[in-house]
Amino acid sequence: MSGERRAERPEFRVWAVEGLPEVREGDDLAKLIASAEPDLADGDVVLVTSKVVSKAEGRIMAAADREAAIDAETVRVVARRGTLRIVENRQGLVMAAAGVDASNTPAGTVLLLPEDPDASARAIREGLRAALGVEVGVVVTDTFGRPWRNGLTDVGIGAAGVRVLDDLRGGTDAFGNPLSATVVALADELAAAGDLVKGKAAGRPVAVVRGLPHLVGGQGDAAGARALVRSARDDMFRLGTSEAVREAVAQRRTVRAFTDEPVDAGAVRRAVAAAVTAPAPHHTTPWRFVLLESEESRVRLLDAMKDAWIADLRRDGKSEESIAKRVRRGDVLRDAPYLVVPCLVMEGSHHYGDARRDGAEREMFVVAMGAGVQNFLVALAGERLGSAWVSSTMFCRDVVREVLDLPEGWDPMGAVAVGHPAGEPRARAERDAETFLTVR
């Protein structure tokens, strides 16, 4: 190039290590790798398939116990479809069958993931340092499927001496735009590169990456691959569809204390959209939801209801002390930053001219109303909003209709207080479903 030195361009090499024997329990992986690849150099990254780590560590068991092994390795079921289970395992990884694998192992056995993949990576790194005097990074890899994408890829499940994440937040791109969400999974990218040369069935469980010494050692390597696991707080996709529904139902609580944080009106509308999918008789839509988004509307309604309630209690002969105590129970509505009044409408109902059948007709609509409110409460829980369904509007429907200027045919079916819970809800006592069942 006319004597000019060509500008150095970034590049790296990756190759599979040849000549490794079949790994057995008790083998020293570092010595096996050092013997097969004695020319390792400082700054190399050694990628080791988790299966050979598991074999060396004796993480093998009879295949007849595969389902029991999956159960033992599972912390939480994320999703289930037929016999396939996506679970969170004891290493914190979300994957199929907890990583229990029947491939690349003798017939009649299965492999479990290493007990502590980061510790395994540290042991291999220290062993290579002792055997060859080199400072390398080590990544223990495993094969993962991914949400929204077909196909499998290798990712890092254990690491030592290598940066697993590259946090670019706070920097700028080539055009000067600020980077606010870019964190690169370096260990996963290295693992995937190694898998291209190792292959899934070629008997080459170790690969080496050379040319990226800036990823080895230094700051950011101490946390190991555990740093790649997303925390529950930041995980928007912790559950499969059916599991998410069950979790939302289980997490719904009656909340009686709220913070001052405003309620997202869009979240309430999404919950209403879920509510109106409830079943109803005769293809009707018997639900109406009145949203009290202004403080003025809430205070005006609650003051009118309070006056009507006190008048009823006095007619019942209750003492002023008893009245004051009962009225305080309604404070949950007054303290909530958002109120919703579900109303039942009987449009589309049948009239038989028979008290028994007409009564049953209304009961069907009331049941549909309850189903709609339950949908609403569960959907609010899914939006991380607390709620309390209070029946008080049912006892002064005329007052509610007048204050809110509602049609005569709208029957208020309680009021729902909505807001952000002021604290964690108390644990619900366990209920055994069998005690509620009768089988014929």
At which of 201, 234, 267 does a domain end? Answer: 234
The residue range of the domain holding 53 is 13-59+114-234
Are residues 215 and 263 part of one domain? no
Specify whether 291 is located in the same domain as 222: no
DSSP letter, residue 417: E
Asked if 200 and 306 sit in the same domain, the reply is no
18, 153: one domain: yes
- Give the predicted TM-score (pTM) of the model: 0.65
Please give the pLDDT value at position 148: 83
Q: Could you tell me if 220 and 270 lie in one domain?
A: no
Evaluate whether residue 119 is within a structural domain.
Answer: yes
Residues 381 and 412 reside in one and the same domain: yes
CATH number at residue 118: 3.30.1330.100
Report how far residue 246's alpha carbon sits from residue 378's, in angstroms, rounded to the nearest whole number. Answer: 10
One-letter-per-residue 3-state SS of 50-75: HHHHHHHCCCEEEHHHHHHHHHHHEE
Query: What is residue 428's predicted lDDT score, i.e. its pLDDT?
Result: 78
Q: What is the per-residue pLDDT for 363?
A: 96
Distance CA(118)–CA(351), nearest Å, equals: 71
Element spanning 120, H or E: helix 117-132
Decide if 105 is inside a domain: no
Same domain, 306 and 351: yes
One-letter-per-residue 3-state SS of 40-51: CCCCCEEEEEHH
Last residue of a domain, one of 209, 234, 259: 234
DSSP annotation of 229 reads S
Q: What angle do CA 97, 101, 102 make, to 5 degrees?
A: 125
Q: How much is the pLDDT for 330? A: 66
What pLDDT, on a 0 to 100 scale, did the predictor assign at position 31?
A: 97
Q: Is residue 77 part of a domain?
A: no
Rounded Cα gap, residues 257 and 261, in angstroms? 12
Q: Are residues 204 and 322 in the same domain?
A: no
Q: Are residues 132 and 224 in the same domain?
A: yes
Residue 20 and residue 133 in one domain: yes
Q: Please report where in the chains the tokens 């129970």 appear, as a residue.
A: 329
Please tell me the predicted confidence (pLDDT) of residue 249. Answer: 79
Closest residue by Cα to residue 382 from 245, 237, 285? 245
7 part of a folded domain: no
Gyration radius of the chain over CA positions: 31
Q: Which of 345, 366, 356, 360 is nearest to 408 (CA)?
A: 345
The answer to whether residue 94 sits within a structural domain is no
Assess if residue 349 is contained within a domain.
yes
- Give the pLDDT confidence score for residue 315 in this predicted structure: 87
pLDDT tens for each residue of the chain, 440 residues long: 444 445 567 899 999 999 999 999 999 999 999 999 999 999 999 999 999 999 999 999 887 778 888 888 998 888 887 778 889 999 989 998 899 988 777 778 889 999 999 999 999 999 999 999 999 999 999 999 888 889 999 999 999 999 999 888 778 777 888 877 788 999 999 999 999 999 776 789 999 999 999 999 865 466 799 889 888 777 777 777 677 777 777 778 899 899 999 999 999 999 999 999 999 999 999 999 999 999 999 999 999 988 888 888 888 888 888 888 777 766 788 889 999 999 999 999 999 989 999 999 999 999 999 999 999 999 998 888 999 999 888 889 999 999 999 999 999 999 999 999 998 877 778 888 899 999 99
Instruction: Return the CATH number at 326.
Output: 3.40.109.10
Q: Are residues 321 and 401 located together in one domain of the fold?
A: yes
Cα(153)–Cα(119) distance, rounded to whole angstroms? 23
Residues 163 and 298 both lie in one domain:
no
Count how many domains the chain has: 2
Domain boundary residue, one of 204, 234, 264: 234
**87 part of a folded domain:** no
Q: Quick one: which H or E segment has residue 246? A: helix 241-251
Assess if residue 134 is contained within a domain: yes
